[in-house]
Amino acid sequence: MSFLRHVGKHGDRKVAIIFREVPGEPHMCLVTYTELLNKHIHDPMIKCIESDIGQNSTNLADALNRSYTNDGTIILQKLHAEGQLKKVNTEQVVMTPAPNVRIKLNELNKILDEMEMGEAAVKKLAEMDKSMGMQNPVDVARRMRGDAMPDSITQNQSSLVGAVDALGDNQLANTFRMQAEKMEREASGLMAEAKRLLSEAAALEPAPVKVPAKRGPKPKSASIDATPTRTSKAKKVNVA
């Protein structure tokens, strides 16, 4: 199933969400009614929404500010000049990123805000681990799962549960799978870094000095006199 960000409905009218939260008014969003746009604005804007730039932008306004209408005008400026930008309560906007998938924008904003807070907590934890030296990847993963942000998970658990029906079990499963893969990549990176540090430590250590074994004095070999001993024989004297 292909999901498309920044699209939804306000009542029965299709809208593109330019800002999912108005600065200073988080309960309001900024939209444009796509069916009211002229073709020279509508077609380039839809192309921008479907592009990688549009889908990777937190707010569609960032992508529209870098895209142009058919007459060479920046799309965001054109929408503003023609009065096509409208403020709407986020509770009244239903996001429709795919067929049979519906979620209110205010609920989606809560989920996205939690994800941003979670990423910030993970980055902060990584910086702390880096400053303190290498840590056990299992302990890091455990802290990332639970200890890093238990309060935010507890406080916003109800909003996540309420979004289960809207997002669908398959989409939630994909989200959990992506989080697990991210944690596996981070753990693998920590293990590789640990091996690298151990290798560098081994290279920096001086080679052990070999101490020659102490030898005792050579035993003196006994000298053997090989000269045979002569036995003097007494001469017999014949006595007459």
Q: Give the residue, 233 or 130, on which the prediction is more confident.
A: 130
Read off the tokens for 154: 């507890």
Same domain, 79 and 160: no
- Beta bridge mates, 8: 15, 95
- Specify whether 79 is located in the same domain as 13: yes
Structure tokens, 54: 């549009």
User: Which comes out higher in pLDDT, residue 178 or 163?
Assistant: 178
Is the model's pLDDT at 141 over the cut of 60? Answer: no
The reply to whether 123 and 52 lie within a common domain is no
Q: In b/e form, how buried is each residue of 24-51, taking b as 16+ CB within 10 angstroms?
A: eeeebbbbbebeebeeebbebbbebbee
Cα(96)–Cα(190) distance, rounded to whole angstroms?
39
pLDDT in tens, 14-55: 999 999 999 889 999 999 999 999 999 999 999 999 999 999
Residue 227, in any domain of the structure? no
pLDDT, tens digit (0-9, with 9 covering 90-100), for 157-169? 444 444 444 444 5
**Domains in the chain, number:** 2
For residue 29, the model assigns a pLDDT of: 95
Q: Which helix (H) or strand (E) holds 89?
A: strand 86-89
Q: What are phi and psi of 134, to 5 degrees?
A: -65, 140
Give 41-92 pLDDT, tens digit per residue: 999 999 999 999 999 998 999 999 999 998 899 999 999 999 999 999 999 9
pLDDT of residue 165: 46
Task: State the average pLDDT for the chain.
Answer: 74
Looking at 82, 99, 116, the residue that finishes a domain is 99
Considering the domain architecture, whether residues 114 and 88 belong to the same structural domain is answered as no
Single out the residue in 99, 127, 145 at which a domain terminates.
99
Residues of the chain with pLDDT > 90, as a percent, come to: 35
90 and 39 share one domain: yes
**Residue 223 lies inside a defined structural domain of this protein:** no
Q: Give residue 144's pLDDT.
A: 52
| Confidence band of 183 (pLDDT split at 50, 70, 90) | confident
In eight-state DSSP terms, residue 92 is G
pTM of the full structure: 0.49
Distances (CA, A) of 9 to 89, 95, 125, 154, 189: 12, 6, 39, 31, 42
How many H helices and E strands in the chain? 10, 6
Between these two residues, 44 and 193, which has the higher pLDDT value?
A: 44
Whether residue 122 lies inside any domain: the answer is yes
User: Measured between alpha carbons, how far is 238 from 129 in angstroms, rounded to an integer?
Assistant: 119
Phi-psi region of 211 (alpha: psi -120 to 50; beta: other; left: phi over 0): beta
112 within some domain: yes
Please, which pLDDT band fits residue 148 given cuts at 50, 70 and 90? very low
Q: Are both 136 and 192 inside the same structural domain?
A: yes
Tell me: do 174 and 124 sit in the same domain.
Answer: yes
Query: Average pLDDT in the 183-201 region?
Result: 76
Whether 214 shows a pLDDT value over 80: the answer reads: no
Distance of alpha carbon 73 from alpha carbon 67, whole angstroms: 8
Same domain, 84 and 42: yes
Domain residue limits at 43: 7-99
Distance of CA 83 to the CA centre of its chain: 40
Cα–Cα dist 11/55, whole Å: 24
Name the residue with higher pLDDT: 239 or 118.
118
Check: CB of residue 31 under 8 Å from CB of residue 45: no
* Two tokens, residue 217: 């004095």
- Establish if 25 belongs to a structural domain: yes
| 115 and 181 inside one domain | yes
Residues 51 and 119 in one domain: no
In this predicted structure, the answer to whether residue 221 has a pLDDT above a threshold of 80 is: no
Helix, strand or coil, per DSSP, at residue 22: strand
- Which residues, other chains included, contact 26 with Cβ-Cβ below 8 Å and sequence gap of 6+? 90, 109
239 within domain boundaries: no
Q: Indicate the pLDDT class of residue 150, thresholds 50, 70 and 90.
A: very low
Which sign, positive or negative, has the C-alpha torsion 96, 102, 108, 114? negative
- 240, part of any domain: no
DSSP state of 232: P
